[in-house]
Amino acid sequence: KGNGRQKRDKTKKMEDKRAENQNKKERRKLKKKETKIDRKLCQQKDDSRSKHEKYCKGHEAGW
């Protein structure tokens, strides 16, 4: 028992889950990249403060 429709449903579920995880991975990578850029810009503290805040609205900078 458990072949046919049930089996198809199960494989579909697994494929969906795999795709979902792939998307999560991609999003995480992008997020990492963004924070890296932000931190780099934060080291340029000689910029005007408003410009600095525009670059790092997400994370607290060590002013």
Give the range of the structural domain holding residue 15, as residue numbers without chain letter.
5-55
Q: CA 43: distance to chain centroid?
A: 23
Q: Looking at the 3D structure of the chain, how many domains does it have?
A: 1
**pLDDT band, residue 21 (cuts 50/70/90):** very high
Residue 60 domain flag? no
Task: Flag whether 18 is in a domain.
Answer: yes
Q: SS in 3 state form for 3-29? A: CCHHHHHHHHHHHHHHHHHHHHHHHHH
Q: Does 27 map to a domain?
A: yes
Q: What is the mean pLDDT of residues 13-34?
A: 88
Residue 63 inside a domain? The answer is no
Residue that wins the pLDDT comparison between 14 and 61: 14
36-57, pLDDT tens digit by residue?
Answer: 666 665 555 555 566 656 555 5
Percent of the chain exceeding pLDDT 90 equals 25
For residue 1, pLDDT over 60 is answered with no
The Cα 25–Cα 31 span in angstroms is 10
Q: Tell whether pTM > 0.75.
A: no
